[in-house]
């Protein structure tokens, strides 16, 4: 088995267990690989999809568990009402999406289990005390699967990719000084201004007036340069 296949197996098992934890059941459920075992093809399945990297399709067959839980809690969710079953299983589908790094599934639908659990899906049996009471199928649409919980939203660097060619002006600031207007008017060649920081202090690096980094002034081929020594976080800026 290749490293990619191993990673995929680990991730889908984690996703399946996240689903098992969110299916509304009176007893805890455990996800185990189903092998060739499958539910009744006419059973009701709730299917959820989301698009991203990776994209995925999920299918949960748990109509009986939902109906049993509704009877126990007197919620009144009838097992033969597709919309109610879809609503009851939506948190489980969202949990599957979160386990792969998304916020939630994009959309859900109901259809027969025989159609929903497609041949290329990895199928898990959701068991209570060794008895299968529900089913979960998952198909990852991208071979690169991040670790569970690895970032549910595109990073700032990724979302700003379209701006990469925009030029910005960086300013290096050695220090500042405040003077009354009379002193400003008296400035002349040869005057020395004392700045608000020591000679060994780092210089500020600003973009459009916003502090983004600090560094030390160096000389590069007879020109001044600055060596970055610290990147400033948004809170510090």
Domain segments of the chain: what residues? 3-140, 167-231
Cβ atoms of 88 and 77 within 8 Å: the answer is yes
Spatial separation of the C-alpha atoms in residues 230 and 205, rounded to whole Å: 10
- Which pLDDT belongs to residue 135? 94
Q: Do domains 3-140 and 167-231 have the same CATH topology?
A: no
- Which pLDDT belongs to residue 103? 78
- Per-residue pLDDT tens, the chain, 237 aa: give them: 444 443 444 478 889 999 999 988 878 899 999 988 999 999 999 999 887 667 889 999 988 888 777 655 444 444 444 547 888 898 899 888 888 877 788 888 999 999 999 888 999 999 988 899 999 999 987 644 444 444 444 444 444 455 567 677 889 998 889 989 999 999 999 999 998 888 888 999 988 778 889 999 999 988 999 999 999 875 555
Half-sphere exposure of 192 (CA within 13 A, CB side): 1
- Which pLDDT belongs to residue 25? 82
Spatial separation of the C-alpha atoms in residues 205 and 207, rounded to whole Å: 7
Q: What is the CATH architecture assignment of 3-140?
A: 3-Layer(aba) Sandwich (3.40)
Q: pTM for the whole thing?
A: 0.54
Decide the pairing of beta strands 223-231 and 210-220: antiparallel
- Which pLDDT belongs to residue 110? 92
Contacts of 152 (CB under 8 A, 6+ apart): 98, 101, 102, 103
Q: What is the CATH architecture assignment of 167-231?
A: Roll (2.30)
Tokens of 57: 């399709």
């Amino acid at each position: 088995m290749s490293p990619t296949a191993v990673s995929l197996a680990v991730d889908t098992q984690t996703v399946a267990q996240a689903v098992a934890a969110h299916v509304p059941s009176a007893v805890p459920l455990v996800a185990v690989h189903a092998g060739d075992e499958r539910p009744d093809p006419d059973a009701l399945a709730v299917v959820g999809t989301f698009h991203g990297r990776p994209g995925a399709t999920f299918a949960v067959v748990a109509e009986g568990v939902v109906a049993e839980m509704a009877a126990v809690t007197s919620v009144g969710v009838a097992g033969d009402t597709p919309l109610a079953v879809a609503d009851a299983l939506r948190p489980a589908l969202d949990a599957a999406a979160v386990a792969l790094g998304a916020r939630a599934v994009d959309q859900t639908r109901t259809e027969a289990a025989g159609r929903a659990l497609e041949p290329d899906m990895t199928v898990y049996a959701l068991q209570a005390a060794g008895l299968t009471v529900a089913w979960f199928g998952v198909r990852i649409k991208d071979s690169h699967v991040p670790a569970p919980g690895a970032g549910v939203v595109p990073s700032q660097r990724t979302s700003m990719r379209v701006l990469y060619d925009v030029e910005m002006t960086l300013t290096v600031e050695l220090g500042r000084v405040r003077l009354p207007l009379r002193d400003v008017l008296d400035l002349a060649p040869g005057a020395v201004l004392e700045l608000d920081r020591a000679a060994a202090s780092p210089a500020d690096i600003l973009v459009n007036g916003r502090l983004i980094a600090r560094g030390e002034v160096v000389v590069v081929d007879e020109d001044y340069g600055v060596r970055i020594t610290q990147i400033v976080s948004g809170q510090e800026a």
